[in-house]
Chain A
Amino acid sequence: MEQTKKTWIDYYKKFGIYIFLAAVFIFFAAAAPNFLSYKNIINILRQVSMFGIVVTGVSAVMIGGGMDLSVGGQMAVVGMILGYFMVNMNMGIVPAIVIGIFIGCLFGSLNGLVAVKLHVAPIIVTLSMMLVLQGVAYLITGGYPITGMPEAFTMIGQGYIGVIPVPVIIFVIFIIFGWIVMNKTYLGRHIYALGGNKEAARLAGINVDRLTVFIYAFTGFAASIAAIIMVGRTNASQPGAGSSYPFDCMTAACLGGISISGGEGKISGVVVGVIILGILDNGLVLMGVNSNFQSVVKGLILLAAVAIDCYQVKTKKS
């Protein structure tokens, strides 16, 4: 009895998230109409791409022992600024994008700087930042969305290269980049070190403050890229956009095995976590499940996945 339980848990540790993915996929393939259609799969991928880019950023912060609840606000503000520059001020696409990315990085750095310099817990810093930015997004136009982006710009969100949507390509570049950084470079190791044991990291000669600011800036970068895709895809800047992102991102990251307490988790897991959440969102809609119930399902799935993971950590520790 004891033995079988152990092997099951070990098995889960290795493949659990993939089993989850397979189960969810098979379930919706059977239960949701049109789920397997080409159009729907592409749709899921596109949906997942924008979201996944942000989750990659959030995961980096979480591996480094932090947290970022302000990504949604960052996306909204960057989105509004993009629209404002391109539509209201007739700025060129490239300068607008550059400014948008710059502002995203700036917001991120600000998070990091406040956390480091004022010693405020990341959850408080980014929660405050979230509230501020959500307000700012509305202030820019007084709450009105901006529409009518330049056509070339909408390509970023809607276009294809060959048969593959542009956002998917950007996402793939992002995760390859993220995977290499986190696994192969010493920058990545420093991030794990920071999240695993901050004091030991400091004594190992790592400039923990600078690194912290850098990671938050990276998350801001990721959020701004996602904002560009979002505005391009919907052809509109919405002040309320991204409001569900902070917690959805954490959900995906945790599903993917990122530890809330930092220092643990893999980018590959994150990708799977993102896809699971994407399939759930899409499949439940196709099945006509109402949105409140979707939320219930997501919550339960997260709890189940993380509970099994924790159970295994507990038995291992003892």
Chain B
Amino acid sequence: MHKPDSAVFKRKVWAASGSGMRGNMANTILSVREIVKDYPGVRAIDHLSFDVEEGEIHALIGENGAGKSTLIKTLSGAITPTSGTIIVNGREFSKMDPILAKEQGIGVIYQEFTLVPGISAAENVFLGEKTSAGIFVDIKDRERRAKELFDQMHVEIDVSKPVRDLSPACQQIVEIAKAVSKDVKILIMDEPTAPLTVSEVETLFQIVRNLKKRGVTIIYISHRLEELFELADRVTVMRDGAYVGTEKIQDIDRQKLIAMMAGRELKETFPSRNTDLGEEVLRVEHLYGNGDKDISFTLHKGEILGFAGLVGAGRTELMRVIYGADPMESGKIFLHGQEVQIHSCNDAIASGIGYIPEDRKAQGVFLPMSIKWNTIINNLKAFSNGIFVDEKKENETAADYQKKFGIKTPSLDQRVRNLSGGNQQKVVIAKTLAANSEIIIFDEPTRGIDVGAKQEIYKLMNELVEGGKSIIMVSSDMPELMGMSDRIVVIYEGVKTGEVAKEEFNQNYILDLASGGNENGTDEKNMD
């Protein structure tokens, strides 16, 4: 069914190019006109039109489920729009396909990684490319060329290592190299900084700016609005699949952008809370395992304890040990002063520990199953009378969380696979909270989540600690970590390098600790 279609529209391409370019779009490299994309029960994109100028960095923002990812998938040819036109370099298309998009110089870095984990960085960069004559792959040549690319970006990556052994930041850079190696003219990046920390973001920005200098046009999607003011030339806002407006970045401020996205004024703060720290609930002593060395800390009732560190510092690894997902080599864990043995996640849950994992796709959600099914899976026993699942309670709980977090979906029976990235993340959080644990570990809870929903999550965290629970929060978003935590533990390469009390919170100080405790700050960014 696809083949004939694409033949038809190729003829159209020729016809369009024959009729020449449109004069009034001299430096418009890409336009979409009246694009509509319908899914059963949802209009993901609703008569959207906007233009991207050659050589600019054009940001695209909107709430979770606004249709950003869907839009770029139509541009890359991953999906076919229901109706509408895409104009690239003056040529009109009724739809794209991946090969054609490549011919037109469109490269995409998707929200979810598309690397093949088991093969090397070099192989991934040139995946699907024919880099040498004949039928044999010249691996050395590929590795050399990949190395060249990384050198151009001023990053050090072992090109022969399987990408599954690389940090998320490096994987992201491999994704970029993969797109750039194809000689792209338009590079679309869907939340590229979501898995990165501040210093890694800086590297990425440098790469993006270099690309811009080389004349590449960039469409940049992010929920971290502060990034746009550093990077973007113009910004287009979407809401509910429709176009809201395009602004020059110097003509707009953060507050206005948020209002455009949400369709209403929205305050952005770290809500204050009213808690007295109670007795100690958790104590970890000299914990070794999973790459972490000699880590000790305590957590009190009603406390939010932050964990800072670079990506790969060993924070997630530590949480996984505490949660029983990975083995502890030595050390002790005490709950309410009582030593506990945690050998499996089940033990942890039984002891009242819940964990919101950072990698939603691999560890968080069950993609083929429905939203409501996912919501209660972590605590099925509480939702059943011993044997049978209480479906009424299931519906109620799921509806509850849907309302609380604004999970955007036509129905709770929708498969999680069909939700937008941010909405999937909300399901992950709901699913852990529904288990009603006493200590909850939030590992990068707001990754990929829009401004409004972030507020809801912060509020909810406050409610939880006010209700006597305790929270451990791992986050790479420094303002968030400092805004929410009572105390911050800093980890560097598996070692605890510091513990900072709320009165002493200071971004540069914490970042120094996070990069090995170097006294002279090297990070020029200060977001205080």
Contacts and interface: CB of A to CB of B under 8 A. Distances in A.
Contact of B377 (A10, A204, A264): A204
A120 B418 CA distance: 32
B364 A263 contact: no
Given A186-B389, A197-B366, A203 B323 contact: yes
Given A189-B373, A189-B380, A197 B325 contact: no
A207 B380 contact: no
A263 B346 contact: no
Contact of A263 (B349, B369, B387): B369
A205 interface: yes
A185 interface: yes
- Say which size band chain B's interface belongs to: 35 or more
Nearest to A10: B40
Given A199-B362, A205-B348, A263-B369, A185 B82 contact: no
Residue among B40, B368, B378 with most chain A CB within 10 A: B368
Interface string B213-239: 000000000000000000000000000
A199 B73 CA distance: 28
B355 A197 contact: no
B357 interface: yes
A151 interface: no
A317 interface: yes
Interface string B383-426: 11001110000000000000000000000000001100000000
A318 B388 contact: no
B296 interface: no
Nearest to A5: B1
B335 interface: no
A22 interface: no
Given A5-B1, A203-B355, A190 B323 contact: no
Given A190-B380, A200-B364, A316-B418, A207 B82 contact: no
B100 to A, nearest CB: 15
Contacts of B80: 2
B482 interface: no
B418 A184 contact: no
Contacts of B79: 318
Interface in A171-212: 184-187, 189-190, 192-193, 196-197, 199-207
Contacts of B363: 197, 199-200, 203
Nearest to A262: B368
A204 B355 CA distance: 9
Interface of A: 2, 5, 10, 184-187, 189-190, 192-193, 196-197, 199-207, 259, 263-264, 316-318
Nearest to A311: B1
Contacts, number: 81
Interface centre among B1, B362, B388 (most CB of A within 10 A): B388
Contacts of B380: 186, 189-190
A48 to B, nearest CB: 28
A186 B367 contact: no
Contacts of A201: 366
A207 to B, nearest CB: 6
B457 interface: no
B507 interface: no
B345 A184 contact: no
A154 to B, nearest CB: 36
A197 B384 contact: no
Interface in B316-372: 323, 325, 344-346, 348-350, 355, 357, 362-369
A207 B346 contact: yes
Contacts of B367: 196-197
If over half of A's interface residues share one DSSP class (helix, strand or loop), that class is named, otherwise mixed; here it is helix
A185 B363 CA distance: 23
A196 B366 contact: yes
B198 interface: no
Contacts of B144: none
17 contacts: A2-B80, A5-B1, A185-B388, A185-B389, A186-B388, A187-B387, A189-B377, A196-B369, A197-B366, A200-B364, A200-B366, A205-B346, A206-B345, A206-B346, A259-B368, A263-B368, A264-B368
Interface of B: 1, 40, 73, 78-80, 82, 323, 325, 344-346, 348-350, 355, 357, 362-369, 373, 377-378, 380-381, 383-384, 387-389, 417-418, 431
Given A186-B384, A193-B377, A200-B363, 11 more contacts: A2-B80, A10-B40, A187-B387, A197-B366, A201-B366, A203-B355, A203-B363, A205-B348, A206-B345, A206-B346, A316-B417
Contacts of A203: 323, 325, 345, 355, 357, 363
B377 A317 contact: no
Contacts of A207: 344, 346
A101 B364 CA distance: 38
Contacts of B381: 186
A202 B323 CA distance: 11
Contacts of A202: 325, 345
Contact of B378 (A10, A187, A192, A204): A204
Contacts of A264: 368
A186 B387 CA distance: 6
Contacts of B323: 203
Contact of A318 (B73, B346, B355, B373): B73
A317 B373 contact: no
B41 to A, nearest CB: 11
Nearest to B82: A2
Nearest to B39: A316
Nearest to B361: A197
Nearest to B383: A186
B366 A193 contact: yes
A314 B476 CA distance: 35
A5 B388 CA distance: 39
Instruction: Please list the 10 inter-chain residue pairs (A to B) with the smallest Cβ-Cβ separation, ordered nearest first.
Output: A186-B380, A196-B366, A205-B349, A205-B346, A318-B79, A204-B378, A205-B345, A186-B384, A263-B368, A197-B366
B368 A189 contact: no
A197 B40 contact: no
Nearest to A195: B368
Contacts of B362: 197, 199-200
A189 B379 CA distance: 11
A187 B386 CA distance: 10
B494 to A, nearest CB: 21
Contact of A317 (B345, B349, B365, B417): B417
A189 B372 CA distance: 12
